[in-house]
Structures are given as C-alpha cells and as structure tokens.
Amino acid sequence: MNQDRAYWSKFYKVHKEPFSHSLFADFVLKFLGKNEKILELGCGNGRDSVFFAKKGFEVWGVDLCESEISFLQNHYANDKLTFLCANFCELNFVNEFSLIYSRFTLHSINKDDENKLFSWLNKGLKKGGKFCVEVRGKKNSLFEKGEKVSEDSFIYENHYRRFLDFNELKIKLKNLGFELLFSEENKGFAPFKNEDDFFIRIIAIKS
C-alpha cells in the first residue's frame, strides 16, 4: 500500500538507527543452530537483523523503504549483514535460507500479497528450515478500529493493519508442509510502554 509505505518512510526518518532488538528476536535465538542463514522480511530500521548478525549469523534484511535500506547498507552492512530494497512478497529465492524471520510484517500486507509470499516461502527455505512469525491477530485490541477496508483489514491513525486468524494461519502453514514447533496467541510477547496486547507467535519447520 502506497499510504503505508509513506507512513513507514516518515517513521524511519525519525528512527533511522537500529534500537534495541525485540523480545521475539531473543525467543527465536533459542531455535537457531550454527551457521544459519537468515532472511528478515520487512526489516525496518534493521534492529533485529543487526542483532542476529552480531550473534554471528549471516543475515539478509529486506524492506521497501529505500532511504532506510540505503542508510543501513552504508552504515551497518558487513560480510555477515546485507540489506536489500525489495518487495518481500515477490522474492524468488530457492533453497537459500535456513530461517525466514517475519516480525510485524504479515499484518502489513493484504491476503493476496500473503499468498504471493507463501508461494515462494517454502521454496526459499532449505529442508529443515524454519519460518518464524510474530503478527497481530484478531484478539488484538486494535482489531476493528478505524476505517474498514476488508473483512480483516483497517486503516487506523493513517496506518494499514490486517489482523490474522490464528487457526487459519496454522492450517495454511501445515498445508504448505510445515510442522509447528511453537504456536500461541497471547499477551506478553510484545509489551510496549504500559501496553501488553495479544499477538500471534509461530515457529514452523519445513518438513
């Protein structure tokens, strides 16, 4: 969405530097072995990509925000860390990554784009590779707030969000040939200031 792209471009003008990594990155770390190659979908200001690279993993961070990707590539890229400006729904990697990481990105795209993403996701992962996702679901307090644009999508405070159905997402991943190592919709995953809302968290392995 062009409107949402403008929203994030404005956001990253103020928040260029990678700040402290997310709690989800800490959680995913427990599922990582040695010599993993990680792809982060919608890396934003790179905070989790930078975190994983500092832990010794090879990381590719992908985002549509050209100015932020240019900044990150110029200031943070190294032999372990690469930033790429691209639409992550339209990538075409084959057997390339051992882990694909998606935090707060699935709810930024519509269902058609999600289907495009999932069409290459399984191919992009090596056998035994993992897909790690944290996303807003329908238990989230922002669900149904703002202007409705589809059954599960709303624009609230000038920002597009789609709220995923937890059970539908699990079924979709299983149908793609993934085994769920962890799946939960709960509070405590992404507290922010005085807020602690519901989010979906899934770790799935390609069988």
pLDDT in tens, 132-189: 999 999 999 999 999 999 999 999 988 899 999 999 999 999 999 999 999 999 999 9
CB-based contacts of 67: which residues, under 8 Å, 6+ apart? 9, 12, 13
Q: Tell me the pLDDT band of 16, cut-offs 50, 70 and 90.
A: low
CA distance 176 to 100: 15
Q: Which residue has the tokens 């900044």?
A: 71
pLDDT at 120: 93
Q: Tell me the pLDDT band of 9, cut-offs 50, 70 and 90.
A: low
pLDDT at 10: 56
Strands 147-150 and 125-135: unpaired
The pLDDT mean for the chain works out to 92
pLDDT at 20: 87
Q: In this model, does residue 3 exceed pLDDT 50?
A: no
pLDDT in tens, 61-76: 999 999 999 999 999 9
pLDDT at 2: 43
pTM summary value = 0.91
* For the chain, domain boundaries: 1-6+35-178
CA distance 104 to 136: 7
pLDDT in tens, 31-61: 999 999 999 999 999 999 999 999 999 999 9
Domain 1-6+35-178 CATH (choose: 3.10.620.30, 3.40.50.150, 1.10.287.3510, 1.10.10.10): 3.40.50.150
Cβ 46 vs Cβ 92: under 8 Å: no
3 or 133, higher pLDDT:
133
